[in-house]
Amino acid sequence: MIEFECQKLENGLTVISSYDPSTPMAIVDLLYKVGSRNEHQDKTGFAHLFEHLMFGGSKHAPRFDRELEIAGGSNNAFTNNDLTNYYDIIPAQNIETALWLESDRMANLDINERSLDVQRSVVSEEFKENYLNQPYGMAWHYLRTLAYKKHPYQWPTIGRNLKHIEEATLEDVKNFYSRFYHPGNAILSICGNIENERAFSLAGKWFGDISGSKLPEQDIPAEPPQRDIRRKVVEDNVPLDALYMAFHMDGRNTTSYYINNLLTDILSNGSSSRLYTRLVKKKQLFNSISAWVDGALDPGLLIISGRLNRGISLEEGEDAIWHELSLLQNETVEQRELDKVKNKVEFEITSNLISLMHRGFAFAIMRCWEMPLWLIMKSKNTGA
Amino acid sequence: MPQYFITSKKNKRMIDRSVKPAIKKVSSIHLLPLEKAVLNHGSLLHFLPDTLYDIFQIEWVFPAGKWYESKKGVAGFTARMMREGSTKHNALQLATMIDELGAEIDIHISSDFLTVKAMGITRHFESILKIMAEILLMPIFPEEELALKKKIALQQLLVNREKVEYLASKQLMETMYGKDHPYGHKPDEKDIKEIKREDLLSYHQEKIISSPAWIFLSGKVPKNFIKILDSLLSGINPERNRPQIDLRETGASRNGGKFFVKKDETQQDAIRMGRHLFAPSHPDSNRMKILTTILGGYFGSRLMSKIREEKGYTYGIYSSIQSHVHASFLYLATEVGRKYLEPALADIYNEIERLRSEPVREEELTLVRNYLMGTALNAIDGPHKALSLYKNLILRGKGPADFKNYIHTVQNISAGELLSMAEKYLDPSLLIEVVAGEK
């Protein structure tokens, strides 16, 4: 069993340490509680654009990547609806380099027009590469706009459109930085060959002098209940018709979140799952199909998406999915089928935790959302 | 939770961040020693044990990739179909048995190998291995399952052809190794339609059943694991020779050239560049790995610094040396906005030219050395990753000595050596350049 300890610095920074003497490496994972749900509806995609700017250099380290790489480290980051996560993997002996770099960009980010110019362009290319220039690439934009009318989950993390990214100003960047990037809004997770006591003392050394700020106000509008089915048909030049269905569900800190997670596993996790064996193999309606929950903190979506075989109509595909959903509603799931998805969850969690990188993030997010560490395992006790 | 956090500056020592922490170099890298055993029927087992996590991973690797097929697509469809029914269980039963154990069994092919891989929880080791043996030894390749897999593959092909990155890399590989060469082709409609059940049955019989595999096992396993493996594999003939690796060159194209693949209604152009270099055992192999890392192998590389971080033309640009068993080649890839195509190409050639004309400065050499040492340390962290490194060496006829050699080259390579590598292998007139997009 992997254990961790948690402390809080005076300035509000939450610090987690998990000592693992079996590895020569260490991971520094720094999570900021800001994502696209904190964006203004006219400035979408900003949290992610800002993540790019965090690599543009800080007062004492003008070249973030270079400083980390010269210490034998490498790094990356990602943004989603709810959070922005930065991680550095480095030989444990050089962990202070990672802490120095992360603390300097938390305290003294170099915000300048040139860096903003370049990253606006890089992110626009990312938008094209992963969305505009991919078959079906804009489907998530359409789906979110349809599913949410008030809550900021109505746009994806990359942003609603290219225009919002192109129009981001230096003023926006500065405001965002001071509002969200400070110790009280962050969680630092250190995993690897660093003893816990040393990890806490190093965290205090490098982050202790950064002043705390007021925690950002949470003025995120709740999504009003949806009363009727909403539909949108998009005609596009794609080889196969595709169908996307989404259902509102509860937020992350609820038991039903985990039940929904298991339900989607029953539907589509593995080659013996219901949707694959019945709709892809037996009835041969879909070329591919999957179901999942989007993992959002606020009430999120349970999504089912599939591409239809040529010659099969969208109506036929949709009817078949509704039929499978009605079976879930009206018939008890057999114990054997439930045990199956629980076993898969157990394997997936264990194999994920072997990776130091996943471990660092897992501890940070559990603390971030104030979930007990093994809450996810609790879903194993869920009745049928 | 309080709404404000106020730091009392009186008690707090301010840290001077203008002083960087000292860097301690990674000076040596120790590979975990590999355990080996010969199983009763002749296969060689490579094993790295773990005591921490109750998980194991096992891979059976057969010399049965595209290189060995006489009809295009047969290796790939054999791999895709092995789970789809055995003499004892149909596809759904097999899938259910695997899923009930929370296990994963994947079968995939590369140019040279067919790999059957299983991962799972230690307490299910024997049960998972039993299913794996059934999939390996007794597949029946049912006609109706094959028809479905072909239909899915044909439609996936249509989706892939909408992607500029697919079109560009397909053209590059075809040009580099030839449309009929196992390293050069991807199956098209005609190939897929012509796959027959008989092809798969005989491929399985000739290339898998009759060919002793390399077996790679890592993680926590039951004490009697050798006995379990022996009893499950008694169905395989006690085999003659261990697979020998043939290192002859492929006679690939030596000419450069520029190619354009037209794709309408796109917003970015995909650029792919490359050239065939040499067999992976070639003495320049390690030096070229370091040179392509400097060019485009990490975030601080020249191409990333110039084309992404300075110009903002792309989300990413990468270069590397890719290795098959019989050939290594240079590979460079990026996607750029249409208006940036010409300037991005000019910058790429300019960076290549710089490597050919100016020695890499000591500061950059130290950077790339330290980065590669840290990466190597991370690459062998834990038994699963370390075994994966061993596997890649062993399948290319190499061993731990070659890894040491690589580390030695990283630590000692000079700017002069890198310059001569660039002069020798990065002649722009010998590069193949492919652009896919609207133009």
Q: Which domains does chain B have, with CATH numbers?
A: 35-235 (3.30.830.10), 257-437 (3.30.830.10)
Cα distances (Å, whole numbers) of residue B94 to A246, B91, B131, B143, B283 = 31, 5, 8, 17, 46
- Does B113 contact chain A (CB < 8 Å)? no
Mean pLDDT of B233-248: 55
Q: Cβ–Cβ contacts within 10 Å for residue B343, how many?
A: 13
Chain B residues inside the 8 Å CB shell of A133? 164, 266-268, 335
Residue of B nearest to A211 (CA): B7
Going by pLDDT thresholds of 50, 70 and 90, the confidence category of residue B317 is very high
Average of per-residue pLDDT values in chain B: 91
Chain A residues inside the 8 Å CB shell of B103? 347
Mean pLDDT of B309-328: 95
Global pTM value: 0.93
C-alpha distance from B242 to closest chain A C-alpha (Å):
32
Q: Are A350 and B121 inside 8 Å of each other by CB?
A: yes
Question: b or e along B83-98 (b: 16 or more beta carbons within 10 Å of the residue's beta carbon)?
Answer: bbbbeebebbebbbbb
Residue of B nearest to A338 (CA): B100
Q: What is the pLDDT of residue B287?
A: 98
Going by pLDDT thresholds of 50, 70 and 90, the confidence category of residue B165 is very high
The fraction of chain B above a pLDDT of 70, given in percent, is: 93
Instruction: Give the B window 265-294 contacts with A, CB below 8 Å.
Output: 265-268
User: What is the C-alpha radius of gyration for chain A, rounded to an integer number of angstroms?
Assistant: 22
Token pair listed for A28: 């520094």
Chain A residues inside the 8 Å CB shell of B24? 91, 93-94
Give the pLDDT confidence of A152-173 residue by residue, as tens digits.
999 999 999 999 999 999 999 9
Token pair listed for B326: 């019989």
Chain B residues inside the 8 Å CB shell of A134? 163
Res. B6: pLDDT tops 60: no
Q: What is the pLDDT of residue A191?
A: 97
Going by pLDDT thresholds of 50, 70 and 90, the confidence category of residue B122 is very high
CA-nearest of A230, A130, A217, A169 to A42 is A169
Instruction: Round to whole Å and give the CA distance between A280 and A289.
Output: 7
Res. B252: pLDDT tops 70: no
Q: What is the pLDDT of residue B347?
A: 98
- Does B349 contact chain A (CB < 8 Å)? no
Please give the domain boundaries of chain A with CATH numbers for all domains.
Answer: 5-215 (3.30.830.10), 242-331 (3.30.830.10)
Residue of B nearest to A57 (CA): B309
Instruction: Round to whole Å and give the CA distance between B85 and B91.
Output: 4
Of B5, B53, B314, the CB nearest to A11: B5
Token pair listed for A288: 């591919």
Report whether A194 contacts A26 (CB < 8 A): yes
Q: Are A118 and B55 inside 8 Å of each other by CB?
A: no
Mean pLDDT of B18-34: 93
Q: What is the pLDDT of residue B60?
A: 92
Q: What is the pLDDT of residue B251?
A: 52
Q: What is the pLDDT of residue A367?
A: 82
Residue of A nearest to B367 (CA): A70
Of A118, A347, A353, the CB nearest to B312: A118
Residue segments in chain A with a per-residue pLDDT below the cut of 70: 1, 371-384
Residue of B nearest to A68 (CA): B371
